[in-house]
């Protein structure tokens, strides 16, 4: 990784030019090839993990002003997860630039933890080299898309699809989605929706778009119906803390 052409190529991929190239070299040096653990990327990974968490928390706080603490925490836990970091690292092709021991290179499958740690180490290296603003730009250039994926319900479960399958198979009906309320200016509206099945309205949910609110409302209906298994525990709105801008909530059942 010390070859000048390789260093130039990885900086182009990262869209960041290092003042101190030793930081970049360290971020891409796995413990399996380092002379000692202190010479590996583990310390930078530790720092990068903290910076990543800070930037994502700040971004979620800014983007979703009506979300409660529990909702923000659960979205953040997915966005900064090992799986997500590895996904971003794969998009950046970081694996092609890592210094790895022979045993790892020859392994049939590359551990997810290896690439996710490399991504966090790069975040730490950028922070050390240029400060918080360059690190923030780098993180959000790639993680903004991951936030959108989580909020659209596409990261782990498509709750609308799961609910439709259950409702049609076990209840003989197709779910409909009812808009109960919307608040906020045109550029930052929040929507409250509820699922209705065979005349029954299930607990409502708020979201920054109708699509997101539908996914969260479907999740709430699945919870009431007992269709959320332990292994498919939702990543957002887990405790029925709907991110409503006001404390009043829509009734669980239709008034009719």
Let me know if 49 is a catalytic residue: yes
Residue 122 near residue 52 (C-beta atoms within 8 A):
no
Instruction: Count other Cβ atoms within 10 Å, centred on residue 88.
Output: 19
The position carrying tokens 């708020």 is 206
Let me know if 170 is a catalytic residue: no
Q: State the catalytic residue, choosing from 45, 49, 59, 146.
A: 49
Q: State the catalytic residue, choosing from 45, 120, 146, 220.
A: 120
Structure tokens at 15: 């869209």
User: By C-alpha distance, which of 254, 13, 237 is closest to 142?
Assistant: 13
Burial (0-12, 13-18, 19+ Cβ within 10 Å), 117: buried
Residues marked as catalytic: 49, 120
């Amino acid at each position: 990784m010390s070859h000048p052409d390789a260093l130039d190529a990885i900086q182009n991929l990262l869209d960041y030019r290092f003042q101190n190239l030793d930081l970049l070299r360290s971020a891409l040096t796995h413990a399996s090839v380092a002379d000692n653990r202190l010479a590996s990327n583990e310390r930078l990974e530790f720092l990068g993990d903290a910076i990543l968490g800070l930037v994502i928390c700040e971004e979620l706080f800014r983007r979703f002003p009506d979300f409660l603490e529990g909702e923000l925490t659960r979205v953040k836990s997915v966005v900064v997860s090992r799986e997500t970091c590895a996904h971003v690292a794969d998009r950046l092709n970081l694996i092609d630039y890592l210094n790895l021991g022979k045993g790892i290179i020859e392994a049939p499958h590359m551990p997810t933890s290896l690439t996710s740690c490399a991504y966090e180490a790069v975040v730490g290296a950028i922070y050390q080299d240029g400060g918080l603003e360059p690190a923030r730009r780098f993180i959000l250039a790639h993680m903004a898309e991951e936030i959108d994926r989580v909020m659209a319900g596409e990261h782990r479960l498509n709750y609308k699809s799961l609910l439709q399958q259950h409702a049609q198979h076990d209840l003989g009906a197709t779910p409909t989605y009812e808009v109960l309320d919307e608040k906020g200016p045109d550029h930052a509206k929040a929507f409250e929706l509820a699922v209705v099945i065979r005349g029954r309205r299930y607990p409502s949910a708020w979201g920054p778009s109708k699509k997101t609110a539908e996914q969260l409302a479907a999740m709430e209906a699945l919870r009431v119906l007992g269709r959320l298994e332990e292994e498919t525990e939702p990543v957002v709105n887990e405790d029925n803390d709907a991110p409503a801008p006001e404390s009043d909530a829509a009734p669980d059942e239709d008034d009719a």
